[in-house]
Amino acid sequence: MSMKVKTRQVDGITILDLSGRITLGEGSVTIRDAVRDVLAKGSNKILLNLGDISYIDSSGIGELVSAFTTVKNSGGELKLLNLTKKVHDLLQITKLYTVFDVKDDEATAISSFTK
């Protein structure tokens, strides 16, 4: 199963609803392209909704980190929403959980972005 991305805007924040697998050759390129598209359109406040991500491997984790640094370097913010237990555990193991700003409620996440 490949990864799918739906894009929507809420209060000036771009939310990417991701579903499927983020792995080498599947979702990793899709994320990279989706984030690049958002930045190209002039938005740099991005919320990645990972609630329907069933699986992520080390390439997928690397892609999340790359997206985070790309957005940060552009002066923006990238946050994660609705981690599944599997993704949560992987971010804990790799010590990335505290690197990302992780939210479990969309409204709270939206209001946490710098105005």
Binding-site ranges for other proteins (CB under 8 A): 23-25, 55, 57-59, 61-63, 65-66, 68-69, 86, 90, 93-96, 99
Of 95 and 115, which CB lies nearer to other proteins in the complex structure? 95
For residue 105, give Cα distances in angstroms to 39, 40, 112. Answer: 24, 27, 11
Smallest distance from the beta carbon of 99 to other proteins, in angstroms? Answer: 6
Instruction: Output the six-digit token pair for 49.
Output: 């909704």
Of 67 and 110, which CB lies nearer to other proteins in the complex structure? 67
Smallest distance from the beta carbon of 19 to other proteins, in angstroms? Answer: 18
Smallest distance from the beta carbon of 8 to other proteins, in angstroms? Answer: 26
Smallest distance from the beta carbon of 51 to other proteins, in angstroms? Answer: 18
Produce one character per residue of 66-77: b if its CB has 16 or more CB atoms within 10 Å, e if not. ebbebbeeeebb
How many angstroms separate the CA atoms of 60 and 72, rounded? 18
Of 41 and 86, which CB lies nearer to other proteins in the complex structure? 86
Q: Which of 115, 59, 69, 66 is nearest to 90 (CA)?
A: 59
